[in-house]
Amino acid sequence: MTVVSALITKHCSAHASDSLITRLQPDGRHEPLEWERSKIIPVRRLRGAMTYWGLATYDAYKWSTFDWLTDQVRALANHNTLRVLLLLSPRLCAMPFRG
Q: pLDDT tens-digit profile of 33-92?
A: 888 888 888 888 778 888 887 777 787 888 888 888 888 788 777 766 656 666 666 655
Query: Is residue 27's pLDDT more than 90?
Result: yes
Query: Is residue 99's pLDDT more than 70?
Result: no
User: Does the predicted TM-score (pTM) go above 0.85?
Assistant: no
What lies within 8 Å, CB to CB, of 63 at 6+ separation is: 57, 96, 97
How distant, in Å, are the alpha carbons of 15, 24, 34, 97, 98 from that of 60?
A: 30, 15, 18, 10, 11
Chain centroid to Cα 58, Å, comes to 14
Q: What is Dmax (Cα atoms) for the chain?
A: 49
CB 1 within 8 A of CB 17: no
Confidence at residue 38, expressed as pLDDT on a 0 to 100 scale: 84
> pLDDT band at residue 26, thresholds of 50, 70 and 90?
very high
